Structure 1
């Protein structure tokens, strides 16, 4: 399953990169985050593996995140941040692109790919593509609200 979502943020790209790359900001916008801890490497560097725990409703999901690409000074000016998540029965690759669209605006494009180990999981993923897309966009909107207005998802209705 593959999909791409995008969102324009009313904040300069350098500030968006800073807010996304500093782990202390994650709880403010990553809804359901229980923990995000590097187990090998340094947060924000290629090759770093982190243990990620998210709570969705009554369920808790644990995965290993590996940063596979980080390009801040590309010749085309696009910041690229790629990562892979592996968890029970699934693999996800996320390719994030941050594009300066003006002096105070940034376009965030997020290309996502999911693979599932079992037939029931593959069928469920296929049937729930819309839910996966909706959740990705919700995380992006939560980040947008944090970056633009300082909104903390932990204090809003969930």
Structure 2
């Protein structure tokens, strides 16, 4: 399953990228986010692996591409899903940035998750849109 979400943020690209890369700010726009623990490599560099802990799940993040402020790609592994997230920050003006996120689910493990994908495919896109909107709102308010 693959989909793309985008939103325009009323803030300069450098500010948007700075907040995107800062795990200390993540709890402001991702529901249930608790922490990001670096397991190997250097934070925010290609090959770095981190454990991302949320109230109801844990993810293993591996950074595949970091050419920010232009592009970022991470691989996210969970016991039930594996996906990539490719993010681009496109400057629309000095004070406006388009945030584009392409999500590609590579693998679903388990009966329940496969059933959810078939019955509620928009659930996954809706969650990404929600977090992107919360990110936009947070960036614009800071």
Instruction: Output the TM-score relative to the length of structure 1.
Output: 0.83
The CA deviation string for residues 61-96 of structure 1, in whole angstroms up to 9 with x for no partner, is 1120111001136xxxxx101001111121011000
For structure 2, the residue ranges without an aligned partner over 5 or more in a row are: none
Alignment of 1:86-105 (within 5 A): 86-105=77-96
For structure 1, the residue ranges without an aligned partner over 5 or more in a row are: 74-78, 151-158
**Whole-Å Cα distance in 2 between the matches of residues 72 and 54 of structure 1?**
25
Question: How many residues are aligned here?
Answer: 141
Q: 2:66 aligns with which of 64, 70, 75?
A: 70
Question: Runs (4+) of structure 1 moved beyond 2 Å?
Answer: 117-123
RMSD: 1.4
Instruction: Output the TM-score relative to the length of structure 2.
Output: 0.92
Q: 2:97 aligns with which of 100, 103, 106?
A: 106
